[in-house]
Every structure is written in C-alpha cells, then in structure tokens.
Structure 1
Amino acid sequence: MLTIDSVSKSLGEFSLSNVSLSVEDGEYFIVLGPTGAGKTILLETIAGVYTPDAGRILLNGRDITDVPARERNIGMVYQDYMLFPHLTVEANIGFGLKSHRADPAFIRGKIQESADLLNISHLLHRYPGTLSGGEQQRAAIARALVMEPEALLLDEPLSALDVKTRESLRAELARIHEATGTTIVHITHNFEEVFDLADRVAIMRGGDVVQVGTPEEIFRRPNSDFVAGFVGVENLLRGTGSADGTVAVGDLRICAENGIPGPVSVAIRPEEILLSKAPLPENGRNVVFGRVESVRPNGGLVRVSVDAGVLFKVTLTRQGFEEAGVAPGDAVHLAFRPSAAHVYPSGEEEEA
C-alpha cells in the first residue's frame, strides 16, 4: 500500500540512507529509534514536506515522489498539535475540506462524523487554547481523518501528554484504527505504544532501517546488539555457537532456540529468567548457578544481578522478589528456556 523504495535524503546532521519499507494496506506500523535516527525526516518525506534526493515513494501503486504534499491524500499529526489558535475546533477540523472548496453541508456532516469518532463533539465551539493537551490532540487527529487520507502519519502524538491521558488516547487510537481501517505510520519512543498498537515495527539507526518485524520478533529476537540494547535486552553474552543450537560462553554451555556456527551474541530478556535459592529442575531448560551481586528496586519491579561466571540480569516483580527471598551474596539458581535465548552473529556495534 505504502512503499518506500531506496529513499535517501540529506538535511545536514539528519538524513535518510537508502531506506526501503513496505507498509501494508490497513496496517498499524510503528517506527522506533533513538533521537537523530531519521524518524521524523522519514515521515515528512512520505508526507511531501521534503523531496527525496534519491529513491521513490509509492502509494497504492501510484508514484507520489514528486507530487505536492496537498495532493498526496496523506494526513499528518505532530506531537505539538499545530492547531490554528484563532479558529474554533469545528473550523480547525473542517479547514482542509474548506480549502478544497467542498460543499458547506458536506463539510458540516464530515466534521460531525469526525468529531463523534474522536468523542469531541461537545468541544466544537471551543478554541484550542481552552482545551487540554489530550483534547487538542484529538482535534488534530480529527482534522487529519476528516480528509479520509489513504495513510495517516503520527509523529510522537502522545509524547507531550501526561501518563493518564496517554493511556486513554492510546486506547482511542486502537479503536479509531479498528473503526476506520486507515493505514497508520506512527513514530514513538514508548514501548507500551508498540505492544498496544503495532502490527509491525521498524527500528531505525543513523538514517537507516536496521530491523523490521512484529513486536514479538523485535523484542524477543533482535538481529544485532544495537537492536537488543535498544529494546531492553539486558543480557547480551558473547560466545561461540554451533549448528545444533548450543553456545559456549566461557565455561557455560547455553542451549538456544537457533543454531549459528562461529562467533555469536546471545540475547536473553531479563524477565525470561527464573531465579530461586532452591535447585531448579532442568525440564529442557538452561540451569545456571551463581551468586547475587546486587539488588536494585525499580518501581514495581526489582532488578537482580547474578554472577555466574558471566553477569546475568534478572527482572522480578515485587511479589516474585519477596518470594525468592534473596539478598546480595546469596547463592542462587537461574533457569531459562532455549526459546528465551536468541542467537545472532556477533560483531555489531554494542552501543544503543
């Protein structure tokens, strides 16, 4: 539905480098990456704010690379809403239709339909300056959707909102996507948005796309140390792999879900590891013995570091930590399934 084909764009310190992506019709597609990775440039190039230096952009098979932004039928919503302060919510929502000289009765009907979808019909007479952040963002989304875009681009739409409003609007976005079937490309730094909303995810770094997959694939089966570190895989072990799925990490032998011969990295999420003072049965799992090096509370979770010849980091719930009854210096047993240990060729840069 939306195809980005080998697109490059240089804007000084920010750039895109031969980016290729395909977003399916009706898909909710999220783009993640650190600051400066090129996420916003990608969105603005799709929208037509910038023309690529190289490559093509196709929408439903139509080449829109050189089509002016207003003729692309693509909606864009920024994190700072960008509503016109001197216009009412009603006038803001209908602005695009009015500029296209649509029939006034048609405009009124579409405004009401869009406002109803976003639950802001009672705010149509108000001005943006009198609205909360969440209400302003709903109005901005309604303004984009009223044009019935073939694709909707969201540039960190929830980042400026408080936690409670973010949760509410996240649920609204899921409902709106289900109701309209609109193809959405959404930039965020928030992993909760990924799991609540995304069909697929792209990870960007330095102007390039480094991995694309479902949230499950990205978070549990990263393809590099960079992606693993970025999505919170705290256990990154270097070793020598074999085709049968075993990996030698120092004196440890780890059974993994996939076998790759030669120098490899093993990525294990900290919440996938069981911890106990009592011996743990293998039951097809990797079982490791070590000593607790540190305990660090972190909100409703507790992070435990265990020295087992290599350092393992384990994340427990408060209840799980209290039941384990461990403290620094205690001898403990760790266990994790081969499916929790994902192997990929080592040699990638480690910084996230």
Structure 2
Amino acid sequence: MIRIDRLNVRLPGFSLKSVDLCVEQGEFFCLLGPTGAGKTLILESVAGVVTIAGGRIVVSGCDVTGLPPEGRGVGIVYQDCALFPHLSVGRNIDFGLRYHRRSIPAGRAMCRDLIDRLGLASLLDRSVTTLSGGEKQRVALARALATAPTVLLLDEPLSSLDPCFREEIRDLFRSLHRETGLTVLMVTHDFTDAHSLAQRVAILNDGHVEQVGTVEEVFRRPLTAFVADFVGMKNVLPVRVENGIPFIGDLALAMPGRKGHFRHAAIRPEHIHLLPAGSDAMSNGSFTGRITTISNQGFFAELTVDAAGVIFKTVMLTSSLVVMDLRQGAAVSLQIDPADIHLI
C-alpha cells in the first residue's frame, strides 16, 4: 500500500499543496489530471527521486520518507521507458539488481521468469535502440519488476505508443496485476486506461486533489465543476435556485425533489437529444433552440445549440443528422432526462 500524508513539494512556479492520498494493498490506482497538475511529481515523490518540502510517505507499512530510491521497494516505468541505450535488452533488465539486497542468483531467476512471461527471450542480445515502442515498454516493465518491488509506479506508459501497441501493453498490465497482486499507482491522461485498469482514481488540479473515488463515482458524480468538465461533462453551466427550482439562465429544470444549494449543472453531451422543433415526440420540460454550429467527426457530429441564450453542446450520429435534415440554423427541441442532469 501507499499512504501520502500532507505532501508538499515546491518547484519554481509550481507546488504540491498538502496532498493526502491512500492506495490500498493490491489496488490499481490511477492519477488523472491536466498537463502540469502535479501527477508525475507525486509519483517521483513516492519513488524518492525529488526532494519534498514536507509530509510523509509510507510504502507497505514502512515510512520511506527519508530513504533513498533503492531502499523503498518501488519500481517505476516512465513514459519514454528511460532505457540505457548503450546496454543490451538483457543488461537493461538486470541492471537494478546490483543496487538491491536480493541475491544476484535469486534476482536472475526472477528475471528469467519475467523474460519468459513478457516474451523477451529472443530480444536479450539486441540493442534497445532497435526495439519497437511496445517492446521497449515490455523491457522497461521487466527491469522495474526484476527487483521484486512491493509497489509499481507507471508514468504515462502508454501515451507514446501507437494504438496497436497501446492495447497490447494495457492487456499486459491488467494480467500482471491480476496474477501478482502488486500495488500499482499509474499516472495517465487517458480515460480508457482508467476505465479498463483502475479500481479507483484521483483527479488532480494545480497541485491539489480535487476528488478521489471509484471510476464510476468520479465519472458519474463529480464533486466540482472542474472535475465535471475534466471527465467529459462538456455542459457545465451556472445554476441559480429560485423557490426550490434550479434555473440555467432563464431555463427552468424540471427536477422535483432535488433540494440544495447548487452552483452548477453538469450534463454530458451524449445525454442531450435533439429533435426537429414542433416534433410530436417533444416532451414536457424540453427546451427549444437553434443549431449554431455543426462539426462533422465522421460517424458522429458535434453540435452547439443556443436555447434562450444558453449554449448547449451535444453529439449525435451523422446518419441521424441526415435523416432528420438538421442543419446549421435549424430550430430544434432539446430533450434532457432530469436523471442525466448532475447538480453541483
């Protein structure tokens, strides 16, 4: 497990601000957030490769705050793999053994098992400069695991890979985690990684944690406007409440029983459905508006609609757009199920 208590790191122009985080034993945990939010800095703080200004880091029950990187029981895989170009694949994999207490024979036995499991046996004498992106990531993973760490840290390990390799390595991470029970902390900006690998996630923003929870909790029930926008709720709109009724601009939301002091309404674009204005299928509580832009993305189109001065973003299949003959400037009805409106 990993426990981070009030972690502070100060760099010129940026700092981590009293970050608290707990990753359970055997959990696959993802750190998400925009570029520059501090995700990699948290990873490097756990690994011991940056100097922290305050706080405590516990790994597998041991306070490692003052320990050097090789004494923390942590393996790390970077986005660019960080392999040694002057060493062969085999020498890259067993490089870290000399800095750990594990005996060389036991370590080499572990390496042989990893080499077989990761399909690297035929590559051992090759220069790492001749490898594909997927092969390099497998070598970097073998090197990180060769010292038998209790925690594996992954820093955007899939972002530089071609799509054909990305799913291969994602499947590899999934199977290794299932087979070994390793505690994994992964930095990523890809929602697919979070949905397919993580049990829980944390969303970072400007050096602090905005929300922690299961993937479903964070993506379906964001706690802040920032998290809602980050996880794809493209419609994050200011709300005011009058006599218990939430309003977006002059549009009243038909949401009986939803009481509270709300500041924003968040709606995913796919939850806003368009019909030609005056359609027989129009329901109570629907809004009328006019299409202001259409961006064709191939199989689907992104649209913006102006409804009484409120701009909504939605998506629909291109085929449906053609069938309904919806064009820029067309009058439409916006259908939104109240259950799909998330009040913050």
Q: Shared topology, TM-score over 0.5? A: yes
Cα gap change, 1:287/1:237 in structure 2, threshold over 3 Å: closer, same or farther? Answer: same
Note if contact 2:303-2:313 (Cα within 8 Å) is conserved in structure 1. yes
CA distance in 2, matches of 1:242, 1:25: 47
Aligned residues: 341
Q: Aligned-pair distance for 1:177?
A: 1.7
CA distance in 2, matches of 1:79, 1:118: 18
Partner of 1:273: 272
Partner of 1:333: 333
Moved more, 332-341 or 138-147: 332-341
Partner of 2:86: 86
Note if contact 1:266-1:342 (Cα within 8 Å) is conserved in structure 2. yes
Note if contact 2:100-2:147 (Cα within 8 Å) is conserved in structure 1. no
Q: Does 1:322 align with 2:299?
A: no
Cα gap change, 1:23/1:62 in structure 2, threshold over 3 Å: closer, same or farther? Answer: same
Unaligned runs of 5+ in 1: 345-352
SS across alignment from 1:293: strand
Matches within 5 A, 1:228-243: 228-241=228-241
Partner of 1:189: 189
Note if contact 2:70-2:100 (Cα within 8 Å) is conserved in structure 1. no
Q: Aligned-pair distance for 1:71?
A: 0.7
SS across alignment from 1:90: helix
The CA deviation string for residues 212-254 of structure 1, in whole angstroms up to 9 with x for no partner, is 122222223222222222222211221223797x412233221
Q: Aligned-pair distance for 1:97?
A: 2.2
Partner of 2:246: 247
Q: Does 1:223 align with 2:223?
A: yes
Cα gap change, 1:138/1:239 in structure 2, threshold over 3 Å: closer, same or farther? Answer: same
The CA deviation string for residues 34-61 of structure 1, in whole angstroms up to 9 with x for no partner, is 2221111111111111242111111222
Cα gap change, 1:100/1:63 in structure 2, threshold over 3 Å: closer, same or farther? Answer: closer
Q: Does 1:66 align with 2:40?
A: no
Q: Aligned-pair distance for 1:258?
A: 8.1
CA distance in 2, matches of 1:311, 1:139: 49
Cα gap change, 1:115/1:14 in structure 2, threshold over 3 Å: closer, same or farther? Answer: farther
Q: Aligned-pair distance for 1:84?
A: 1.7
Cα gap change, 1:252/1:51 in structure 2, threshold over 3 Å: closer, same or farther? Answer: same
Note if contact 2:299-2:318 (Cα within 8 Å) is conserved in structure 1. yes
Cα gap change, 1:296/1:92 in structure 2, threshold over 3 Å: closer, same or farther? Answer: same
SS across alignment from 2:239: strand
Which amino acid counterpart does residue 27 of structure 2 have in structure 1?
E
Partner of 1:301: 300
Unaligned runs of 5+ in 2: none
Moved more, 21-30 or 294-303: 294-303
SS across alignment from 1:147: coil
Note if contact 1:239-1:247 (Cα within 8 Å) is conserved in structure 2. yes
Partner of 1:311: 311
Partner of 1:53: 53
Q: Aligned-pair distance for 1:123?
A: 1.5
Partner of 1:204: 204
SS across alignment from 2:134: helix
Q: Aligned-pair distance for 1:20?
A: 0.4
Partner of 2:14: 14
Note if contact 2:102-2:147 (Cα within 8 Å) is conserved in structure 1. no
Q: Aligned-pair distance for 1:291?
A: 2.1
CA distance in 2, matches of 1:254, 1:152: 46
CA distance in 1, matches of 2:103, 2:152: 24
Partner of 1:166: 166
Which amino acid counterpart does residue 280 of structure 1 have in structure 2?
A
Q: TM-score, normalised by structure 1?
A: 0.89
Which amino acid counterpart does residue 54 of structure 2 have in structure 1?
A
**Structure 1 vs Structure 2 CA RMSD:** 2.2
Partner of 1:126: 126
Cα gap change, 1:271/1:87 in structure 2, threshold over 3 Å: closer, same or farther? Answer: same
Partner of 1:77: 77
Which amino acid counterpart does residue 289 of structure 1 have in structure 2?
T
Note if contact 1:170-1:193 (Cα within 8 Å) is conserved in structure 2. yes
Q: Aligned-pair distance for 1:143?
A: 0.9
Q: Aligned-pair distance for 1:18?
A: 0.3
Q: Aligned-pair distance for 1:337?
A: 2.1
Cα gap change, 1:101/1:325 in structure 2, threshold over 3 Å: closer, same or farther? Answer: same
Q: Aligned-pair distance for 1:65?
A: 1.1
Q: Does 1:44 align with 2:37?
A: no
Q: TM-score, normalised by structure 2?
A: 0.91
CA distance in 1, matches of 2:145, 2:248: 53
Moved more, 61-70 or 248-257: 248-257
CA distance in 1, matches of 2:100, 2:60: 22
Cα gap change, 1:58/1:141 in structure 2, threshold over 3 Å: closer, same or farther? Answer: same
Which amino acid counterpart does residue 70 of structure 1 have in structure 2?
E
Cα gap change, 1:181/1:299 in structure 2, threshold over 3 Å: closer, same or farther? Answer: farther
SS across alignment from 2:263: strand
CA distance in 1, matches of 2:275, 2:116: 53
Identity value in percent: 43
Q: Aligned-pair distance for 1:100?
A: 3.1
SS across alignment from 2:322: helix
Cα gap change, 1:126/1:17 in structure 2, threshold over 3 Å: closer, same or farther? Answer: same
Note if contact 2:88-2:127 (Cα within 8 Å) is conserved in structure 1. yes
